[in-house]
Structure 1
Amino acid sequence: MLTRLDFYGGLEQLRGFNSFPAPHFFTTLQAGNMSSEWGDEEEVYDNFKNFLRQVMPRRPKPVLMLPEHSHKITILSPHQSSAWNIKCDGLLTASPHIALVMKPADCLPVLMTTADRKFVGLIHAGWRGTNEEIASKAVELAVSAYKVKPEEIFIGIGPGIHECCYDDEELARKLLSDERWRPFISGGPLGARIDLLDFNVRQLLGAGVKREHIKVAENCTCHSREKNEYLFFSHHRVKRQSEEKARLEKEGRFEEAEKIIPEPEGRHAAVVSMI
């Protein structure tokens, strides 16, 4: 189920077109920050424009998801796609003129389609959306809206934070009160770890998607590197750096603290389209 990513100068794609049968890309740090919330608006606009020009030569209209950490999923038709930005955590469309876009840091981008591309979908699965079982809800909605069977649906899960790095003791304690989460939270000498990825896969399987139709990028946004450089933006990684710097300063270890320079925040992009 884990699959490597093919890299194309700041972009990546699930290896082998048959891994996920719809055009899709994820940006890396090399392509620059894609969110004006975390950087200069003009620079972000140029980064995003260059990205879309490179990966979408047929120029479908980009519709950007503005996540609310909910289970809200919006179905787009050619007549309902006048808005560029839509507040939701899932987008579905059967229009060849639309490209679905989201800008995550560590949350999982979940792509959906069928072998003959009856539709495409893009889901934002952070811990809140995962808790609301947004992945399985998206499958159910696609089955209803596009008259497909769950076993016809292909899933591609892009880079996101994996269990190896998602160490959040406070959140883990909160989630452990819900028995659904217990198989996906592990303990250890480094603290509790949360497995967003496997919980989403479990939801997709429960919704009727075939295991062999689920392809998962092996990259963790928090730690994946190439040539000793981080590949992706990661909110969790920056948070760790800031917390470690604050801890050292509190302990009076100022020389050590000065050596820690937290990275600037940023977001990469995930995109999927019909053509």
Structure 2
Amino acid sequence: MSRSCFWMLFFVLSVETAAAQSQERIMAPIPSTNDANVQIIGGKPATKGDWPATLMFDGNLGRCTSTIVGTYVVLTAGHCVDDKSPAKLLWGNRRTDLLCHVHPDYRGKACANEIAPQKLVGCTADVAICIAAKSLDPDPAKFERVRNNPPPVSAKDKVFLLGFGCTEADGKITEVLQEGVASVEWPAQPGASSDPSRTMREFIKTAGAAVCHGDSGGASYSPDKTKPEMLALASRGNLSTDSYLVDLRTPQVQTFLRKAGSFRSDFNLPEGAIKICGIDPDAENCR
């Protein structure tokens, strides 16, 4: 396949729907039965009990995936929400207001329509922090942990991809959480987009099981299911075999995560209330 044809396949991973434009954005847990059609390309339906803090919602462009990582914190892709946009979280049989903050280095809606790598500078910080108005009880589940310590992701490492996406390009999206194993083709290289032709090197690139429309914001995990750690968030893909993930360990993203406490003014939360599992040593209710 020629290089020009290859890049024509790339899309931001949300898919636009009329419902997403009109309905209230509600982040909700995995449905009680998770047995419909598969969604991650090359994957299989996930077991509900394995990923209880994973949420599904309708974002800016349609179906997205998000993850609870702290008593007041949900992570998703930056292109799934507008900066300072409201949402609601359905958790523990109650609704809680959220306010979402997109990484300040993310270029915004212009990224959704770009496909040429040299034009994607400013699109690699594709991450958003959503703050809850009320503390989230660890029942029905504890919260996921973000990796911030070595070892880093390396070429040929295996990672679990997770998301509510399709199984083939432009395929049907259903309400089933899907997981699949992919191999890291290259690790993220922070600052690579200082040379625009190398912008894609700021992402983790994986091959094998692949993210698809609807997987945006879905977490990728270390392969140890007994103690999984979030490594990255799904951002882009070729809807076939290759995925591009935002590395949560890069300095650009780590700085943003460590400033999450500054968002406590969203809902007049107490100082020190906002903690992220894996980032803050004293975060509570972490898996």
> TM-score band (shorter)?
under 0.3
Larger Rg: 1
Greater share of residues in helix: 1
TM-score, structure 1 length as denominator? 0.26
TM-score by length of 2: 0.26
Whose strand proportion is higher, 1 or 2? 2
